[in-house]
Amino acid sequence: MNNKELLDDTFNSIRPKLEQDGYLVSDFKYIDYGLQFLITKNLCKGILRVYANKKLQIKYDLSQLKQESFKNQIDVILNENTSAEENIYLDSDDALNTSSISFIPIIGTDESGKGDYFGPLVSAGVYVDLTTKPLLEKLGVRDSKKLNDNQIKEIAQNIKKVCANRFAVIEISPETYNNLYSQFKSEGKNLNVLLAWAHAKAIEEVLTKVECENALSDKFADEKFIIGKLQEKGKKIHLRQEYKAEANIAVAAASILARERFLEKLKKLSTELAMELPKGASLKVIEKAKKVVEKSGEGILKKIAKLHFKTTDFVLKS
């Protein structure tokens, strides 16, 4: 892992977190010892700079974010994104090896598309035991954010072979996603409940194929959300949620399967529209969405995009 790769990984990690909170994030450009990109929300905007030193430690420069409240909001998100070890980076292989052996066998779950305006939300669950764990490690399974699209597609096919009949991929199309989001919102619930529903569906599907007592997911909400959804179906499992859970081989495998399906469906939507739909929720996405609306009308958005994103307001703004 070199500085450039670390910077790329850091950007790919914090971008969806910012976009999920309604910030528009531009593509980055490299600068001396780091990279920088523009963050915009409502009338506030500014440049965030990210630096990596020789010890592979990440430092953030918020000095170009002039509005104090804007700067504080970004600082909170960045702190949530980093570990207590002051941004000391752990190589993915080392991180995977630190996963507790006591949690094998385990079902790992993850989702993809949460921070992408276009395309579905996809959740996945993968069962891993002492037999499949070393096989997945040899495949180079790690957090999907550390892989490019071609690597994801290739490794995903191998995961399916190694974990045959012991995984599940749950796809929630944009239209279904929008309907569920509206339903949950009318019931006073938020996005975390929808995510919990998606994770629970993945776990539930895996449990129809194999018995398992433990499950692990990233920390995005109170695990009672997921447990509650499973109990409604009569399923019982001990669920743990951890920050950076993708360090666990099962969660990493799930992240790859979820991302592969997301990329597949985004490509299909692009083909149907004869127009490439970009990932994320950047200014580029807004411009592309405007062109789609000009071509097919506003109604098309509910079939290809997540309407609750602030992006929709920018797209439809006259």
Q: Are residues 77 and 139 in the same domain?
A: no
Q: What number is the average pLDDT over the span 225-242?
A: 76
- Provide the pLDDT for residue 103: 62
Identify the three-state secondary structure at position 85: coil
pTM over 0.85: no
Say yes or no to pLDDT of 99 above 70: no
Q: How confident is the model at residue 81 (pLDDT cuts 50, 70, 90)?
A: very low
Sign of CA dihedral 99, 102, 105, 110: negative
Q: Are residues 121 and 225 in the same domain?
A: yes
Query: At residue 255, what is the residue type?
Result: S
Q: Are residues 236 and 143 in the same domain?
A: yes
Whether the CB-CB separation of 181 and 192 falls below 8 Å is answered with no
Give me the percent of the chain exceeding a pLDDT of 70. 90
Q: Are residues 145 and 27 in the same domain?
A: no
| Host domain of residue 254 | 93-265
Q: Are residues 233 and 217 in the same domain?
A: yes
* Closest-CA residue to 119 (of 53, 49, 174, 191): 174
Q: Are residues 23 and 102 in the same domain?
A: no
Of 47, 67, 89, which residue sits at a domain end? 89
- Angle 127-128-130 from CA coordinates, rounded to 5°: 150
Q: Are residues 7 and 148 in the same domain?
A: no
Q: Are residues 164 and 212 in the same domain?
A: yes
Query: How many separate domains does the chain show?
Result: 2
CB-facing half-sphere around the CA of 206: CA atoms within 13 A: 34
Q: Are residues 63 and 98 in the same domain?
A: no
- Provide the pLDDT for residue 1: 61
Q: Are residues 167 and 255 in the same domain?
A: yes
Does residue 119 lie within any of the structural domains?
A: yes
CB-facing half-sphere around the CA of 255: CA atoms within 13 A: 22
Task: For residues 127 and 169, give the distance between their C-alpha atoms in angstroms, rounded to a whole number.
Answer: 12
Q: Are residues 40 and 187 in the same domain?
A: no
Say yes or no to pLDDT of 100 above 50: no
Q: Are residues 101 and 186 in the same domain?
A: yes
Does residue 284 lie within any of the structural domains?
A: no
Element housing 45 (H / E)? strand 44-52
